Amino acid sequence: MNWSLPENVSTFGAQVDSIYYLILGITAVIFFAVEALLVYFIIRYRHREGRKAAHIHGNTRAEVIWTLIPFLIVLFLAFRSRAVWMEVKDPARVPPGALELRVAAKQFEWNVTYPGPDERLGTADDFVRRGQLRIPVNRPVRVTLASEDVIHSFFLPEFRVKQDAVPGMEIPVWFQATRTGEFTLGCAELCGLGHYRMRGTVTVYTAEEFDAWQREQSRAGLAAAN
């Protein structure tokens, strides 16, 4: 068994992963302790002729102990998780200076609208790419996620990003890449018979590459429209 998560390439991903490994550690200890005890008891107290089991109904102190300890552990985990969760999902915590994109999901495509060189959505130099999410490295990206038909789920495994795209809602998602390269964009919510093909590519460019690409695409788009 390989319990490690795949490579992480987003800024907050490391914190997400650390919570995962923390829970993995705690649950692994509990798992081995409980299962070992179970096996030990089964062997140690297996039936032998002439032996009678102890007549014990319980022990209040033991109950209190094994109620309190798990309670404290889970509260600790909830407390640790909450901080990371809010950093990832709270719309008010998107870092400033983010690149604004719009991702419209539809059966079975991700259509990404880029703002063009003016960095503003809703202007003439916007352009749309199907299934291609291209972003600059080391810069926050704020995606406004929408859906045109059913519920999809915007899943960037290497970025530790997942957010359902719900028709009728515009949901902000942010992330920041820590290295350049090609990564996966997938749909994680059953959205119909083409669900398994609703995929795309995330390409992380350097800032210069991204600007050049965006300028060129935008110019080509404007030329085609005229």
Partner 1 sequence: MSTMAIPQAGAHAVHRDERPFIRKYIFSTDHKIIGIQFLLMSLLFLLVGGLLALTMRWQLAWPGRPIPGGAILPDTMAPDGIMLPEFYNSLVTMHGTFMIFFAIMPLLVGVFANYLIPLQIGAPDMAFPRLNMMSFWTAVPAGILMIASFFVEGGAAAAGWTSYAPLSAVPEYSGVSTGQELWCLSLIILGFSSLMGAVNYITTVVNMRAPGMTWFRLPLPVWALFITAILVLLAIPILTGALILLFFDQVLGTGFYLPERGGQPLLWQHLFWFFGHPEVYILILPAMGMASEIIANGARKPVFGYHAMVIAICAIAFLGWIVWGHHMFQSGMNPMLGSTFMVTTMIIAVPSAIKTFNWLATLWRGDIHLTVPMLHALAFVAMFVIGGLSGVFMASTPVDIYIHDTYFIVAHIHYVLFGGSLFSIFGAITYWFPKMFGRMMHVGLGKVHFFLTFIFYNLTFFPMHQLGLGGMMRRLYDPTQYAHLQPLQELNQFVTINALLLGAAQLLFVANFVWSMFRGKRAEMNPWRANSLEWSVPSPPPHGNFAVTPIVYRGPYEYSSPESDEDYLPQDRPPAGRPAPAPDLVPAH
Partner 2 sequence: MLELRDSVVVLSAGLLLVGCGAGDSAGGGGEAAAAGEETAAAAAAVDPTTVGTISGRIAFEGTPPAGTPIDMSEEPTCAAKHPGGARTEEVVVDGSGGLKNVFVYIKEGLSGGPYPPPAGSPVLDQNGCLYEPHVLGLRVGQSLTIRNSDGLLHNINAKPTANRTFNISQPTKMETTRSFAVPEVMIPVECDVHGWMRAYIGVVDHPYFAVSAADGTFQIANVPPGTYTIETWHERYGTQTVQVTVAAQQTADVQVTYREQMAQNAVVPLGQPIHLHDHPAGAAAGGR
Closest approach of partner 2 to the CB of residue 101, in Å: 15
188 binds, among partner 1, partner 2, none (CB under 5 to 8 A by kind): partner 1
Q: Are 151 and 185 in contact (CB under 8 A)?
A: no
Q: Which is nearer to partner 2, 90 or 149 (CB)?
A: 149
Residue 3 CB contacts under 8 Å (≥ 6 apart), including other chains: 24
Closest approach of partner 2 to the CB of residue 220, in Å: 9
103 binds, among partner 1, partner 2, none (CB under 5 to 8 A by kind): none
Q: Which is nearer to partner 2, 99 or 112 (CB)?
A: 112
Cα(22)–Cα(16) distance, rounded to whole angstroms?
10
Closest approach of partner 2 to the CB of residue 107, in Å: 4
132 binds, among partner 1, partner 2, none (CB under 5 to 8 A by kind): partner 2
Q: Are 155 and 114 in contact (CB under 8 A)?
A: no
42 binds, among partner 2, partner 1, none (CB under 5 to 8 A by kind): partner 1
- Whether the bond into 12 is cis, omega within 30 of 0: no
Closest approach of partner 1 to the CB of residue 96, in Å: 19
Measured N-to-C along each axis, helices 60-89 and 13-44 cross at an angle, to the nearest 10 degrees, of 160
Handedness of CA 217, 220, 222, 225 (dihedral sign): negative
218 binds, among partner 2, partner 1, none (CB under 5 to 8 A by kind): none
Distances (CA, A) of 220 to 54, 70, 203, 212: 83, 60, 20, 12
- Name the maximum alpha-carbon separation found in the chain: 96
Closest approach of partner 1 to the CB of residue 102, in Å: 16
Interface ranges with partner 2 (CB under 8 A): 104, 106-109, 111, 128-132, 148-149, 192-194, 196-198, 200-201, 224
Q: Which is nearer to partner 1, 5 or 121 (CB)?
A: 5
